[in-house]
Amino acid sequence: MENVLVAGANGTTGKIIVNLLDKSQYFTPIAMVRSKDQQSQFENKNIKTILGDLEEDLSHTVKDIDKVIFAAGSGGKKVVEVDQEGAKRLIDVSKVANIKKFVMLSSMGADNPESVDQLKDYLIAKQKADLHLKDSGLQFTIVRPGALKNDAGVGMIQLKEKLNKRGDISREDVAQTLVRVLHDDAANNAVFEILEGDTLIAEAIDKV
């Protein structure tokens, strides 16, 4: 079993990721949360937690960790501090700790923030975080979903490096995709976009 640090574990998508990892036969989740009052929801399920603030030193969070999923987000309040610099901070300590794989939850539009009217600051922050990961030397996968919705997952996606269209996708299907690419042989050093589609998640990822 590999230990997977989930940054942003207290977020809506983060909680789904942690639960998926908890049921996995390959991975053990370590839920990274910012405050003590966020720990009990995980510890009540016997899920390990670690306190970590993306605006502060994170070197302790990657001790005994094999892989990382970055699913944290500022919700638009601190895009530079959290979505950009927080991600870069975690990437840097992951490199020092020889993390085997770093999976980044990015966003459609992060490759070209200038083309978007809304959320430009957020997408610029995501773009800079993605570039930092690409340049880090770490094994990585960057997943760029369309608009996130809270509907139940369908288990089917469309996946391409560039889909050239907009759309949405359930958080459950995004979480399933992020967990799937954690595997050593899946989508290494790849960047791709995903929307709801008609290809099974595992099948779509196998073609990357």
- 26 as an active site residue: the answer is no
Bridge partners for 156 per DSSP: 200
- DSSP β-ladder status, 27-33 and 48-51: parallel
DSSP per-residue string spanning 80-145: IIIIIIIHHHHHHHHHHTT-SEEEEE--TTTT-GGG-SSSHHHHHHHHHHHHHHHTS-S-EEEEEE
Phi, psi of 139, deg, nearest 5: -70, 130
Indicate which residue of 27, 42, 102, 122 is catalytic. Answer: 122
Could you count the other beta carbons within 10 Å of the beta carbon of residue 92?
Answer: 15
CB burial of residue 30 (10 Å; 0-12, 13-18, 19+): buried
Supply the residues annotated as catalytic.
122
